[in-house]
Amino acid sequence: MSSKYKDLKQECYQANMELNALNLVIYTFGNVSAVDRDHGVFAIKPSGVAYEKLTPQDIVIVDFDNNVIEGSMRPSSDTKTHAYLYKHWKDIGGIAHTHATYSVAWSQAQRDIPIFGTTHADHLVADIPCAAPMQDDLIQGNYEHNTGIQILDCFKEKGLSHQEVQMVLLGNHGPFSWGPTAAKAVYNSKVLEEIARMAYLTLQINPDAPRLKDSLIKKHYMRKHGKDAYYGQE
Amino acid sequence: MSSKYKDLKQECYQANMELNALNLVIYTFGNVSAVDRDHGVFAIKPSGVAYEKLTPQDIVIVDFDNNVIEGSMRPSSDTKTHAYLYKHWKDIGGIAHTHATYSVAWSQAQRDIPIFGTTHADHLVADIPCAAPMQDDLIQGNYEHNTGIQILDCFKEKGLSHQEVQMVLLGNHGPFSWGPTAAKAVYNSKVLEEIARMAYLTLQINPDAPRLKDSLIKKHYMRKHGKDAYYGQE
Amino acid sequence: MSSKYKDLKQECYQANMELNALNLVIYTFGNVSAVDRDHGVFAIKPSGVAYEKLTPQDIVIVDFDNNVIEGSMRPSSDTKTHAYLYKHWKDIGGIAHTHATYSVAWSQAQRDIPIFGTTHADHLVADIPCAAPMQDDLIQGNYEHNTGIQILDCFKEKGLSHQEVQMVLLGNHGPFSWGPTAAKAVYNSKVLEEIARMAYLTLQINPDAPRLKDSLIKKHYMRKHGKDAYYGQE
Amino acid sequence: MSSKYKDLKQECYQANMELNALNLVIYTFGNVSAVDRDHGVFAIKPSGVAYEKLTPQDIVIVDFDNNVIEGSMRPSSDTKTHAYLYKHWKDIGGIAHTHATYSVAWSQAQRDIPIFGTTHADHLVADIPCAAPMQDDLIQGNYEHNTGIQILDCFKEKGLSHQEVQMVLLGNHGPFSWGPTAAKAVYNSKVLEEIARMAYLTLQINPDAPRLKDSLIKKHYMRKHGKDAYYGQE
């Protein structure tokens, strides 16, 4: 039985398996989605299915109002957060959510990750934001939908662009990341975890470690981004 | 030569091997048991046998009074603790004991693991209890039996339910976990180790990290448990 | 199509793959080069190519003035730093650059790694230097070329020999290492990462841990180096 | 060409390879020896040979006065320490030396490892001793021979038995362990590394963590050792 979403499911499946291969998740902790803007839907991991048992056929197709369009399984319990982000950030193509160890530790510590070095600056020029825990009435309400609101509010308050900062920590919870494709969203999850680990160690060695100075922040970002970029083959 | 406990031994064997595959043990540190309530016995790892040499035939069948019912090897030195728990908690199906690194570190630090985030709240809504080290007369007496008493006393004192909190740290020693099956007990050991690691890192980043607020604790637990649960496929 | 640099490319390719096998890099973080002094060129990893896709044919041949001599891909964005070091240190044969976790943490902490033990002293008899972050005008200028200047200035100020100290940390950035061959440069990267990790843990256990005393520093170095060396088979 | 030491070399070779398989060494850091008391010799790893290239034929046979009896390669640079220990501790059968990360960190911190829990007490009932760094005249003299003296002096001063405490840390350097066989010496190296890691984490979580109380120390040791031992199958 064929599906017009076969390729989308395959993309989503591969990105989820990559999350597992990169040691960013154990058991069923985490999920990745991939969007199809033309049809106004996204593909997402089914809820509570272990990676070693996951198949491309298990992937669920959902629209931006959280209706299941195709698939016999229940979609990820975080589906409404994905839907909210796709609806409001019209240029992103994939979203990843993990409970990766160091990213969660910073989330639980409720601290932004300071920009300490060029590994960080190669990817973004701001501290990685940690959104404050949600207010009680929002938690008791439509929780996962409100998680999306929480992320957008955080970006608005801090004056951040979701195109320049493709990752966020949710206080007490863990990281979300996104990008032009599902694969890039997973890449951003891995980079975030590595930056989180480096920043943790940096503070252990020197609690007064200074943030990277502005000139170096700009230089490293411009090597990879903008019109004069000279990193990579494109 | 067939045994009516063949399936039980196989279940126990697989759960023990999973402990090893999940990097929760080195050498012979750790053991898992699986119960057969109908026959009033449980299957447990033989004492001091390395995982790479373990076979399903080596698994020992023991009753709740610690008599060996079947098997030519000596059962785990922790057998009496398992028997005590099975005898008193009549609805559990499996028990796991490890010396996993972060779980042991919290046990040695003699600290409860605070509930810092949703990874923890997805599994239990209390701090993970650390039972106080045993009193001298109990240690000198029937030690492993008394370890069982120590665990039940801890749960009574703290007003905890063994159905809601399926794991405990023994002060100076290490973790025990349980669940409806041996596989679930092992799952709880792995989850405990990961929560222990995250909580350790959280305190290193922010020694004043707050406990998760009550509304979020309840929300995450209810996503997975209770009549309105919407996580997973059941 | 044959190339007179075939062996050089192969040496460079293998050293880059070794960086990956030793877990010193993720994705495209890092690069190794190998020099051919007779032809006045070096082979270096192309920019932004993932290790799993890298082939010996992709390796780029560059001269000491940063001209691409052979290869269809853009060379590593750090090429000018390599060129500068080859030009000024006429006896080195290979250079490695990574973003390995503990090495980066010390770089971000902007601290020299103190010589705490014999693992360190077996390889070098000084603290591992951390070069101060570059001045703003140098960053805005010819950045990677100036990184080379930054390294040489650091060695001059501290009175270090690049033959005796074959590694450096760049403040806010990460490590560079070198040696008589590309393979030895990679070896030095791995040793540096391990020393960085040991020194980090040492300070966590004892913030007042003393530097290794001079007599032991000299003894361990002399076991491996100098005319009376008695370590190894040569 | 056969050798009467073929089995001894094989035992030594396998124990060295096990050191590598257990992630206790990188490159050539570490060595294991196995003794043949009847012939008054021991087999030891050749100096500076990488584990992936090591063969049983490379193993060197040395007597207790450090004469090479068989083998074309130079023996480990630590050979004199092994010889000294074999000469004075007439009942040990194997010795292992590593630069394992956590063991080295405690050595560099120059701290005994406190007995914090039962993982430790299952193996020894004392803190793991850290021998003070050698005095300058001994370092400048017959260094590796004097390392043996340093270990014995440490045990004499602290009133320890090498049969009950089968491991030691050398200040600024790293661990030595021993046992009835080379395999058991390697086992002790692995256990030491794990205890070192757990103790490190324990102190990070609770800097005032108490030592294990005496009654528990004795109980756990007696489970595995002495006439009433009930751990394992013997």
The answer to whether position B232 is within a domain reads no
Question: Given an 8 Å threshold on Cβ–Cβ distance, is A231 in contact with C47?
Answer: yes
Of A73, A109, A139, the CB nearest to B205: A109
CATH number at residue D197: 3.40.225.10
Say if CB A35 and CB A11 are below 8 A apart: no
The catalytically annotated residue of C122, C143, C153, C200 is C122
For residues B57 and B60, what is the distance between their CA atoms, to the nearest angstrom? 8
User: Does the CB of A159 have a partner CB in chain C at under 8 Å?
Assistant: no
Average pLDDT estimate for A60-87: 97
Q: Which of residues 27-86 of D touch C (CB under 8 A)?
A: 27-29, 46-49, 73-74, 77
Cβ count near B90 (within 10 Å): 8
Which of C46, C52, C38, C47 is CA-nearest to residue C9? C46
B202 contacts on D by Cβ (under 8 Å): none
The answer to whether position A91 is within a domain reads yes
Of D28, D172, D200, the CB nearest to C201: D200
Total structural domains within chain D: 1
Q: Mean pLDDT over all residues of chain B?
A: 94
The answer to whether position A233 is within a domain reads no
The pLDDT of residue B218: 83
The pLDDT of residue C1: 55
Of D187, D215, D233, the CB nearest to B74: D233
Which of B189, B88, B204, A118 is CA-nearest to residue C169? A118
The answer to whether position C230 is within a domain reads no
Is 90 exceeded by the pLDDT of residue A217?
Answer: no
The answer to whether position D142 is within a domain reads yes
Shortest Cα–Cα distance, C180 to chain A (Å): 28
| Chain pair A-C, CB pairs under 8 angstroms | 82
For residues C35 and C96, what is the distance between their CA atoms, to the nearest angstrom? 12
Strand B30-36 relative to strand B94-98, pairing:
antiparallel
Shortest Cα–Cα distance, D181 to chain B (Å): 17
User: Does the CB of D233 have a partner CB in chain B at under 8 Å?
Assistant: yes
Which of A90, A66, A80 is CA-nearest to residue A176? A80
User: Does the CB of A173 have a partner CB in chain B at under 8 Å?
Assistant: yes
The catalytically annotated residue of D36, D112, D122, D153 is D122
Question: Given an 8 Å threshold on Cβ–Cβ distance, is C190 in contact with D26?
Answer: yes
User: Does the CB of C211 have a partner CB in chain D at under 8 Å?
Assistant: no
Mutant choice from B29, B52, B108 vs D, greatest count of D C-beta within 10 A: B108
pLDDT tens, position by position, C206-227? 999 999 988 888 887 787 777 7
- Greatest pairwise CA separation for chain A in angstroms: 60
* Residue C52 vs residues C48, C55, C71: alpha-carbon distances, Å: 12, 9, 19
How do the pLDDT tens digits run along chain C, 234 residues long? 578 999 999 999 999 999 999 999 999 999 999 999 999 999 999 999 999 999 999 999 999 999 999 999 999 999 999 999 999 999 999 999 999 999 999 999 999 999 999 999 999 999 999 999 988 888 888 999 999 999 999 999 999 999 999 999 999 999 999 999 999 999 999 999 999 999 999 999 999 999 998 888 888 778 777 777 777 776
For residues C149 and C155, what is the distance between their CA atoms, to the nearest angstrom? 10
Q: Write the DSSP symbol of residue B213.
A: P
Question: Which residues are registered as beta bridge partners of D133?
Answer: none
A205 contacts on C by Cβ (under 8 Å): 105-106, 109, 111, 200, 203
For residues A200 and A188, what is the distance between their CA atoms, to the nearest angstrom? 18
**What is the domain range of residue D99?**
6-224
User: Does the CB of A13 have a partner CB in chain B at under 8 Å?
Assistant: no
Residue type, C136: D
Shortest Cα–Cα distance, B111 to chain A (Å): 18
Q: Which of residues 86-125 of B touch A (CB under 8 A)?
A: 116-119
User: Does the CB of B232 have a partner CB in chain A at under 8 Å?
Assistant: yes
D198 contacts on B by Cβ (under 8 Å): 101, 104-105, 108
Is 70 exceeded by the pLDDT of residue D234?
Answer: no
Torsions phi, psi for C108 (to 5 deg)? -70, -30
Region of A226 (left: φ > 0; alpha: ψ -120 to 50; beta: rest) is left
Q: How far apart are the first and last CA of chain B?
A: 39
For residues D138 and D121, what is the distance between their CA atoms, to the nearest angstrom? 34
Question: Given an 8 Å threshold on Cβ–Cβ distance, is D48 in contact with C232?
Answer: yes
The pLDDT of residue C9: 98
Say if CB C97 and CB C78 are below 8 A apart: yes
pLDDT tens, position by position, A3-49? 899 999 999 999 999 999 999 999 999 999 999 999 999 999 999 99
The pLDDT of residue B234: 64
For residues D137 and B2, what is the distance between their CA atoms, to the nearest angstrom? 70
pLDDT tens, position by position, B194-215? 999 999 999 999 999 999 988 8
Of B116, B201, B223, the CB nearest to A77: B223
Tokens read off for A151: 């992320």
Closest-approach residue (CA) in chain D for B104: D198
Q: Which residues of A are tagged catalytic?
A: 122, 231
The answer to whether position B172 is within a domain reads yes
DSSP string across C188-204: HHHHHHHHHHHHHHHHH
Shortest Cα–Cα distance, A79 to chain B (Å): 11
Residue B1: band (very low, low, confident or very high) from pLDDT cuts 50, 70, 90: low
Say if CB D202 and CB D116 are below 8 A apart: yes
Say if CB B108 and CB D116 are below 8 A apart: yes
Closest-approach residue (CA) in chain B for A76: B231
ipTM of model: 0.95
The pLDDT of residue C232: 77
User: Does the CB of A134 have a partner CB in chain B at under 8 Å?
Assistant: yes
Of B117, B212, B231, the CB nearest to A77: B231
Is 80 exceeded by the pLDDT of residue A1?
Answer: no
Shortest Cα–Cα distance, D230 to chain B (Å): 7
Of B73, B101, B143, the CB nearest to D201: B101
The answer to whether position C233 is within a domain reads no
The pLDDT of residue D69: 98
pLDDT tens, position by position, A112-155? 999 999 999 999 999 999 999 988 888 888 999 999 999 999 99
Cβ count near B137 (within 10 Å): 9
Question: Given an 8 Å threshold on Cβ–Cβ distance, is A231 in contact with C48?
Answer: yes
Torsions phi, psi for A194 (to 5 deg)? -70, -40
pLDDT tens, position by position, B47-97? 999 999 999 999 999 999 999 999 999 999 999 999 999 999 999 999 999
A119 contacts on C by Cβ (under 8 Å): 29, 99, 104, 174
DSSP string across A140-160: HSSHHHHHHHHHHHHHHHHT-
Closest-approach residue (CA) in chain A for C200: A205
C202 contacts on D by Cβ (under 8 Å): 105, 108-109
Q: Mean pLDDT over all residues of chain A?
A: 94
Say if CB C86 and CB C63 are below 8 A apart: no
Of D48, D104, D133, the CB nearest to C198: D104
Average pLDDT estimate for D149-168: 97
Question: Given an 8 Å threshold on Cβ–Cβ distance, is C118 in contact with D49?
Answer: no
The answer to whether position D231 is within a domain reads no
B100 contacts on A by Cβ (under 8 Å): none
How many helices and strands, by DSSP H and E, does chain D display? 8, 8
| Chain pair A-B, CB pairs under 8 angstroms | 82
Whether B122 is catalytic is yes
Average pLDDT estimate for D9-15: 98
For residues C38 and A196, what is the distance between their CA atoms, to the nearest angstrom? 44
Q: Write the DSSP symbol of residue B166.
A: -
Is 80 exceeded by the pLDDT of residue A53?
Answer: yes
For residues B31 and D227, what is the distance between their CA atoms, to the nearest angstrom? 24
